């Protein structure tokens, strides 16, 4: 007698970063071959994401891609959705009766209405820390670009100028070993930034009201300080907090005024953490020597943004978390969660 194998139906909605074929490969590795997989490739990052406040029926969703009708038609009777950016609103859950699990390959499933998911009995999991290593490395690169005059030298040579004056004692940069760096936020990324900075012999202070420093960091001389103390002591301030009501615009005019004269500000976290008008004023006044900005209050950044025109700012287009390791790690973590669901196990990172 031939044994009939029931195939578990999985819909994968990836894009040009989180490639569907990587999702599929990891699913087959962790869940076996008895899967009926369908794949959809979206256009991000070649096409910008959307936000729920701009589309009727998608209230509360952020940073997603795809029209509801398109996603519903593609998922159809799948039991599991593995995705990066596909939206799932309350109205969409109502139309997808077979859907029982969603694995989102990002730190926060902001493209999913998790309250509606719970009401409809759909498990939602995410992959926190997926790009922590990438962002931490990028942060160090941003700090060095500003403090060691890498950006200034690069831009001058592009224009045919040989900036020999950058070797002058009154204009040259400073080493991390002679500076204090303040790290705001001691989560997956902040802790890695601390670890990397220790290799440079940097004096490190941390502000995070919800944590205790690790024993290793305490033994290595890292100090947990108040927000004001961090601003006053630091030659470089780098922010790695989550966006909450409490942290929105935590870097405001008062905060920038309290920073040391001639210090540098780095943001590889999220735009809403910063009052960019206040930052602009601190930069043009000369109170801050420079800034490295990877994220912005509006993305893509408008071409008329005054920050783009400043000569003392390093700018990148929200790419700190982009690495091949991020792709493979996030896909693997999602596949592990799907396998746990198939085997009746509790999720590791459920929402």
Active-site positions read 270, 299, 318
Phi, psi angle pair for 41, to nearest 5°: -110, 120
Residues whose CB is less than 8 angstroms from the CB of residue 7 and which lie 6 or more positions away in sequence, other chains included:
34, 35, 36
Phi, psi angle pair for 263, to nearest 5°: -85, 175
10 Å Cβ neighbour count for 89? 21
Q: Read out DSSP for 27-58?
A: HHHHH-S-EEEEEEE--TTTS--B-GGGSTT-
| Residue position matching structure tokens 């040259």 | 172
Helix axis angle, 132-147 relative to 150-158, nearest 10°?
A: 70
Distance CA 111, CA 121 (A): 17
Q: What DSSP state is assigned to residue 349?
A: S
| Residue position matching structure tokens 């109502």 | 94
Collapse the DSSP code of 183 into the 3-class scheme (helix H, G, I; strand E, B; otherwise coil) and give the result: strand
- Which tokens is 87 given? 């939206």
Phi, psi angle pair for 200, to nearest 5°: -90, -5
Q: In what order do the strands lie in the sheet with 80-83?
A: 35-41, 8-14, 80-83, 101-104, 123-125
Rounded to whole angstroms, the maximal C-alpha distance in the chain is: 86
* Contact in structure between 61 and 51 (CB atoms under 8 Å): yes
């Amino acid at each position: 007698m031939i044994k009939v194998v029931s195939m578990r139906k999985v819909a994968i909605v990836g894009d040009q970063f989180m490639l569907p074929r990587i999702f599929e490969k990891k699913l087959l590795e962790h869940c076996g071959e008895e899967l009926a997989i369908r794949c959809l490739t979206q256009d991000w990052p070649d096409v910008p994401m959307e936000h729920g406040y701009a589309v009727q029926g998608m209230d509360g969703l952020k940073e997603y891609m795809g029209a509801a009708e398109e996603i519903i038609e593609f998922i159809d009777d799948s039991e599991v959705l593995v995705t990066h950016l596909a939206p799932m609103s309350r109205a969409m859950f109502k139309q997808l009766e077979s859907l029982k699990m969603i694995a989102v390959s990002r730190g926060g499933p902001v493209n999913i209405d998790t309250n509606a998911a719970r009401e409809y009995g759909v498990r939602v999991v995410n992959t926190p820390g997926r790009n922590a290593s990438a962002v931490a490395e990028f942060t160090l690169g941003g700090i060095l670009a500003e403090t060691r005059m890498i950006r200034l030298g690069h831009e001058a040579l592009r224009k045919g100028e040989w900036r020999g004056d950058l070797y002058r004692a009154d204009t040259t940069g400073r080493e991390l070993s002679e500076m204090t760096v303040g790290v705001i936020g001691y989560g997956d990324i902040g802790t890695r930034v601390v670890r990397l900075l220790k290799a440079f012999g940097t004096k490190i202070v941390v502000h995070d009201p919800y944590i205790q420093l690790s024993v290793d960091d305490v033994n290595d001389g890292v100090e947990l300080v108040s927000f004001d103390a961090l601003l006053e002591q630091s030659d470089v301030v780098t922010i790695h907090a989550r966006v909450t009501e409490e942290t929105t615009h935590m870097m405001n005019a008062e905060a920038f005024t309290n920073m040391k004269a001639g210090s540098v500000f780095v943001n590889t976290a999220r735009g809403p953490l910063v009052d960019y008008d206040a930052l602009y004023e601190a930069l043009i006044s000369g109170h801050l020597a420079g800034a490295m900005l990877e994220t912005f209050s509006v993305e893509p950044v408008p071409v008329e943004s005054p920050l783009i025109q400043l000569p003392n700012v390093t700018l990148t287009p929200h790419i700190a978390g982009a690495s091949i390791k991020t792709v493979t790690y996030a896909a693997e973590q999602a596949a592990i969660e799907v396998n746990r669901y198939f085997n009746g196990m509790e999720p590791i990172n459920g929402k």
